[in-house]
Amino acid sequence: MASNGEAVDLTFAPRLADHLAADRLYYKSTLWAKIDRVVAVLLVVLGSLVTWAAGPRWWALIWFPLAFAEWFNLLSLRPLQIMYWFQADPKFRETYRLTFSAGGIRFRTASIDALIQWTHYTRMLEDRRLCVLIYGSRMFSVIPKRAFTSEAELSAFRALVVSSMRSSTASPPGSS
C-alpha cells in the first residue's frame, strides 16, 4: 500500500533460490565477471593454438570446456557457501516484515526488530526477479519482487530507494 511519500510494507519468507540469484546478480555487476570473460576468451585462444600445434589430444581439447565453465562462472564454490549459510542461519527460517520509508528500513522477524538507516546502503541492483540493496563487498539485502502486491507498489519502492539513497549520500550541511 504505497503512494507518493508513503511507506512500502512487504512480508515474505526468504528462499534459497532468491539468495543464489542475488549473488549471481551482484557478481555480474563486479569487475571479476568481466575478468572471467577475458580469461575464458584466452582459454579458447590457448586451446585453439595447442590443438592446432599438437592435434586433437585430450590435453589440447580440455581448454574448451574450461573456457565454457569460466565464461558461465561454473567453477565457483560460492553457491555451495550460500546454501550452507542459508541453512545455518536461523533468520532465514523466519518470515520477514519490512517497512521501507524515508526514515529507513524497519526489519522485523520473530526474533529481530531493527531500523536500518539508508546510509547503510550504497546502491541497488535489480533484475526481473529481485531487487538487491548493496551495503558492502558481497554483502546485500535481498528483496524478492514476489513480495510486492502490485506494479504500483514496486514503482513506489524504486522511487523511495532512489530518493533515499540520493539524500543519504549527500554531504551534510556545513561540510565541504
- How do the domains of the chain map onto residue ranges? 8-29+80-167
Which residues neighbour 173 within 8 Å (Cβ) at sequence distance 6 or greater? none
CA trace torsion 6, 1, 161, 11 (10° rounding): 130
pLDDT band, very low/low/confident/very high, at 157 (cuts 50, 70, 90)? very high
The pLDDT value given to residue 176: 39
What pLDDT score was predicted for residue 168?
60
pLDDT value of residue 5 = 63
Mean of per-residue pLDDT scores for the chain = 91
- Which of the four pLDDT bands, split at 50, 70 and 90, describes residue 109? very high
172 pLDDT higher than 70: no
- Percentage of the residues of the chain whose pLDDT score is greater than 90: 88
Q: What is the mean pLDDT of residues 132-152?
A: 96
At 174, the pLDDT band (50, 70, 90 cuts) reads very low
pLDDT at residue 166, as a whole number: 78
Mean pLDDT of 93-121: 96
**Mean pLDDT value across residues 26-34:** 94
Would you tell me which CATH number, out of the four given (4.10.280, 3.40.50, 2.60.40, 2.30.29), belongs to the domain 8-29+80-167? 2.30.29
The count of other CB atoms within 10 Å of the CB of residue 18 is: 21
Work out the pLDDT band at 36, boundaries 50, 70, 90.
very high
Contact 106, 115 (CB under 8 A): yes
CA 119 to chain centre: 18
pLDDT value of position 171: 41
More confident site: 125 or 138? 125
Residue 48: other Cβ atoms inside 10 A: 14
Q: What is the pLDDT of residue 6?
A: 83
pLDDT at 76 exceeding the cut of 80 = yes
d(Cα 169, Cα 172) in Å, to the nearest integer?
9
Query: Among the listed ranges 37-41, 95-99, 135-139, 172-176, which one has the minimum average pLDDT value?
Result: 172-176
